[in-house]
Structure 1
Amino acid sequence: MKRKRLTELFPFLLPLRQKQRKFLFYLKMKFDKAIYSHTKEEGLLPHLIFETHSLLINPNTGYDIRYQYNKVHNLKLAVKTMDHILIRPGETFSFWHLARYADRKERYKDGLCLVHGEIQGVYGGGLCQLSNLLYWLFQHTPLTVVEHHNHAKHSFPVPESGVPSWVDATVSEGWLDLKVKNESNATFQLDFSFDEDNLYGCILADRPVPLPEEVSAL
């Protein structure tokens, strides 16, 4: 029999555990000597490296559709923190370094999330759609993946989009991050937009950058 977590036996401890994990998570980041990307530039860099899109509403989850619309709300808050961000030489992009306070002015809503192997409505759920898209963009650059995690299992069917179904990058504040380091001499920039159906993302650079061999072979 699988041993239960302490927070499963005593659920009232979960908020305290989450606060502890987040505190240690960001404390470690503060002292890890990495230079984290934080500068934005309104104008776009001249060289488009790669662009893709991801369908916002997935009708095949089998769950209340309101969670899908809540997810879109959450995605828009998180995207604001990353839109037009520059990843300069020597800098590290961290999902949570940027998205940490995405809900400071406008609160997240409950979206679907995989928790202990079960799909639940969780505050801020659905952000993995953005981390998946980011990971696919990063795969088309020479950026070095510093931290990346796969989902324990796929939770429900993934609709057709510009991000292949096998591209997987989960994030969980206090536990799991998505980080890439720029060890090249080029500066990169992220750009995002939404329409009624899709989240669009692209990565640009200040100079031409060759496509990585493993991606060009796909």
Structure 2
Amino acid sequence: MEPVAIKRKNNLMLFLLIIFLFTAISFGATNAAFMVTQNIYHGVTVEGVPVGGLTIQEAERRLRTHFGERLKHPLIELVYENNKWEITASQIDFSIDTASLARKAYQVGRRGGILQRLRERYLAIYHSYTLPLEISYNHEKLQAVVTKIAKEVNRDAQNASLAQHKGGVTITPEIIGLKVNVAQTVADIVSKMNRSLPVRSELAVEKVVPPILAQDLVAIDGIIAAYTTQFDPRDENRTQNIQLAAKSINGVLVRPGQVFSFNAHVGPRLAENGYREAPVFVDGRLSTDWGGGVCQVSSTLYNAVLLADLGIEERTAHFRPPGYVPLGQDATVADNQLDFKFRNTTANNIYLTTEVTGNQLTVYIFGKRMPNSPEIRIITADKQILEPKTVIKQDPTLEMGKEVIESEGQKGYQVTTYRIKLRNGQEIAREFLASDEYNPVDRLIRVGTKTSPKEPSK
């Protein structure tokens, strides 16, 4: 190595050694000063408030004054978009333990082993030593305040919807829902409160996308099938049940290949869901039960589905034929037992709507109208009448030989149903749907067996 380079290297090392010695002497002198002072070491701060050189009592007074002024103003500012909400210290019972902070400030550089004390003194001298706040607040009150604010922001998501309009359809776009994550918002506030005051924090808002978007409806251009049945609006309980069930399937989108379940959309027919007791057939006899009338909605839907040429996945006939649809075209349902299901066998989305006006229930099926679609008809064949049996029942309360007709009985039926397709009036396809049997109700006659007491012989 050249002598000049060696000389430069030695000079550099000597320079660094001098700097180190001066630093060590300076730190040693300062550290010695630390050792004799009874005040808080210089360089110690509490959340930006310098307390170095003060006694514990002086530090507590300074902190109490400083934070007391701060707490006169709003403690927390929550923001979301162009809105803001302020939370004061009194609303959440917020306080700062200034006495404890002053004591801990005094302990900086005096606690722990020699290495810890030297490290804390070094940091205080050259970088400042900052103590975190010691806060107290009512977590339940903070959560309650945030929950109240959340109610102003929360917004239910709404599906895009579709309605008929002048031979076509109109689409109402979806509404994206908003849901404030209260737990996350509170956690963010607490994290910031522990570091500095006042706090400015964003509401943790989650967007809720509804199941049906406007883009799901753009290919739908009209009604592909509809069916109407009638009911007696004077029967208020049954009418209420029909309205509730119809509302449950109103605005439902069924995608290609998807199976629609009536029970899944309508839910249990219980009083807590608004359903009432109304006449129903149970084991062939007229009775009352919760949700009476719901089967009229499922049967009306079944006929609309048949006319839309959709696939039937599950369908059960009533024990007795109802009067609101033709024989063999009913679909009964029962909670957790019998369901009506169909599959969207088209290449496009379909959309269900219902309408209850006056004494009529109508189910509409919207979809993509295809040119040259065949005409759909539902027909019955092989209809047979099943005569009721006559059952004689002895009655010891009636006079001997006297007859009373307790029940006239009802005829039963056997019927086969087909879905046929017509083009230009000519049948081009025939699909078997079901063979249903509606059992007859026996004719019941009570015959008296009571005998008159014999008169005593004279």
Task: Verify: 1:198 aligned to 2:365, yes or no.
Answer: no
Aligned-partner Cα distance in 2 for 1:101–1:71: 16
- Which of 130, 141, 160 is the matching residue for 2:308? 141
Worse-superposed segment, 88-97 or 206-215: 206-215
Letter in 1 for 2:290: Y
Task: Verify: 1:53 aligned to 2:228, yes or no.
Answer: yes
Q: Could you list the runs of 5+ residues in structure 1 that have no partner in the other structure? A: 1-38, 59-64
Aligned-partner Cα distance in 2 for 1:172–1:102: 9
CA contact (8 A) 1:52 1:202 kept: yes
Aligned positions of 1:1-218 closer than 5 A: 41-44=160-163, 45-57=220-232, 68-100=235-267, 106-154=273-321, 158=323, 163-208=325-370, 210-211=373-374, 212=376, 214-216=420-422
Letter in 2 for 1:42: S
Aligned-partner Cα distance in 1 for 2:318–2:268: 24
Aligned-partner Cα distance in 1 for 2:421–2:251: 24
Aligned-partner Cα distance in 2 for 1:118–1:101: 22
CA contact (8 A) 2:317 2:328 kept: no
Aligned-partner Cα distance in 1 for 2:320–2:365: 28
Letter in 1 for 2:282: V
More strand per residue: 1 or 2?
2
Aligned-partner Cα distance in 2 for 1:41–1:205: 15
1:116 to 1:198, Cα distance in 2 relative to 1, 3 A:
same
* Residue aligned with 1:199, SS: strand
Aligned-partner Cα distance in 2 for 1:41–1:164: 35
CA contact (8 A) 2:241 2:276 kept: yes
Q: Could you list the runs of 5+ residues in structure 2 that have no partner in the other structure? A: 1-157, 164-219, 377-418, 431-458
**Match of 1:28?**
none
Aligned-partner Cα distance in 1 for 2:252–2:313: 18
Letter in 1 for 2:259: T
Worse-superposed segment, 84-93 or 94-103: 94-103
Pairwise CA distance, 1:103: 5.6
CA contact (8 A) 1:41 1:85 kept: no
* RMSD of equivalent CA atoms: 2.6
Q: Could you say which structure has the greater relative contact order, defined with CA pairs below 8 angstroms and 6 or more residues apart?
A: 1
TM-score, L = length of structure 1: 0.67
* Residue aligned with 2:307, SS: coil
Aligned-partner Cα distance in 2 for 1:104–1:46: 38
1:183 to 1:113, Cα distance in 2 relative to 1, 3 A:
same
Pairwise CA distance, 1:104: 7.9
Return structure 1 stretches of 4+ with deviation > 2 angstroms.
Answer: 101-106, 163-166, 206-213, 215-218
Aligned-partner Cα distance in 2 for 1:101–1:175: 11
1:191 to 1:173, Cα distance in 2 relative to 1, 3 A:
same
Aligned-partner Cα distance in 2 for 1:124–1:108: 5
Deviation track 1:78-116 (CA, whole Å, cap 9, x = no partner) reads 111110211111211110010015768642011111112
